[in-house]
Amino acid sequence: MFEKKEKKTGDSKQRLTSLAELGEFGLIERLTKHVKRYHAETLKGIGDDAAVIDAGDKVILLSTDLLVEGIHFDLTYMPFKHLGYKAAVVNISDIAAMNGIPKQMTVSLAVSSRFSAEALDELYAGIVMACDKYKVDLVGGDTSSNVKGLAISVSIVGEAKKEEVVYRNGAGAGDLLCVTGDLGSAYIGLLILEREKSVFQVDPNMQPELTGFDYQIGRQLRPEARTDIRNLLLGTGIKPTSMIDISDGLASEILHLCKQSDVGCKLFEEKIPIDEHTRELAKEYKIIPSVAALSGGEDYELLFTVKQDDYEKIKDVAGITIIGHMTASSEGKYMITPDGKSIPITAQGWDGMRERQ
């Protein structure tokens, strides 16, 4: 879709760079490398789960996400109410990843005439349901026509005490690498839905076979934000040294923490938490279960680091797993297999600029 092109400049040709060649994060770096900050209250701009703005004894957290039909969601199997709920939750998750409290949200839509008002009623019912659950005020937005399809842009505001906000760049060598919940189920849920879509396209009279896959499909269609972790960690007296939510896959998020904190990492494959049914389904799809966790994405769990001194406090906390530790940057970023082999960690997860057929 995105091809390498050449642009004629006088008698010479200038090679143009495709978006697929850059990738999503390479594109962001390219577009923002000359961005300047002019206000002292802007404590953190581009490069974290949310921007951080000084507000006296607290900070304001600001994040935004854009979901585009055919790229981020498929209405063949994504109900409008679930889509609205998910669109809200992925933004709430960004605030949770900063150790903050979500407060206000705006929603903007670009929608084509193929959609009915009743469909958008359902979409907003899902958004409102998420706002009610996470106690977020829906305070505005915008609507626009769209030539084709549906695009949803959600912006969210949160807050945190200055001393409690957590960035991606605070990890140090020796810090423990931890994750909430389990990983890989959302990706397996997507594979199940795509399988049934393929069957439906061949024979529209066939009923989808979704019985027994509630957990995996639920993780894909109706994820939850881990806003509970903030209070859980506060209750144990732990403040993470760095944190990020897992939207693009465990491997990608580990590399973000390593890059921002200038550290390396040792991840132990056997420690990655994976639901047992998800593990079985991955094998049925001929996928190594840890690969589903590393590269699948959309789990919206939290990946964070804590000081080694906090080991006794965190080792027995339900729902949190220690999966590795950070190292000096010079030691690289590796996953250690059960038989002791070291495999370089590479990001194979979601990339919004990847070429698609």
- Mean pLDDT throughout 69-85? 96
Q: Chain-centre distance of CA 290, in angstroms? A: 17
Is-contact 266 332, C-beta < 8 A?
no
Residue 349 has pLDDT above 60, yes or no: no
Residue 199 has pLDDT above 90, yes or no: no
User: Which band of pLDDT confidence, cut at 50, 70 and 90, is reported for residue 37?
Assistant: confident
Residue 139 has pLDDT above 90, yes or no: yes
User: Which band of pLDDT confidence, cut at 50, 70 and 90, is reported for residue 24?
Assistant: low
Confidence at residue 357, expressed as pLDDT on a 0 to 100 scale: 44
Residue 353 has pLDDT above 50, yes or no: no
Is-contact 201 270, C-beta < 8 A?
no
Q: Is 239 left (phi over 0), alpha (psi -120 to 50) or beta?
A: beta
Over residues 306-343, the pLDDT tens digits come to: 999 999 999 999 999 999 999 999 999 999 999 999 99
Find the DSSP H helices in the chain.
Answer: 19-32, 80-96, 117-134, 185-202, 214-221, 228-236, 250-261, 276-284, 289-295, 311-314
- Mean pLDDT throughout 147-160? 96
Q: Cβ atoms within 10 A of the Cβ of 172, count?
A: 15
Confidence at residue 2, expressed as pLDDT on a 0 to 100 scale: 43
Domains of the chain: 1-35 (no CATH), 44-161 (3.30.1330.10), 176-344 (3.90.650.10)
Q: What percent of the chain has pLDDT over 70?
A: 92
- Mean pLDDT throughout 16-44? 79
Is-contact 91 64, C-beta < 8 A?
yes
Pairing of strands 137-145, 263-268: unpaired
* φ, ψ at 173 (rounded to 5°): -55, 130
Residue 113 has pLDDT above 60, yes or no: yes
Confidence at residue 20, expressed as pLDDT on a 0 to 100 scale: 76
- Euclidean distance between CA atoms 79 and 7, whole angstroms: 43
- Euclidean distance between CA atoms 295 and 253, whole angstroms: 10
Confidence at residue 189, expressed as pLDDT on a 0 to 100 scale: 97
Sheet with 320-328, edge to edge strand ranges: 242-245, 302-306, 176-180, 320-328, 263-268, 333-336, 342-344
Residue 261 has pLDDT above 60, yes or no: yes
- For the ranges 23-27, 83-87, 245-249, the lowest mean pLDDT is seen at 23-27
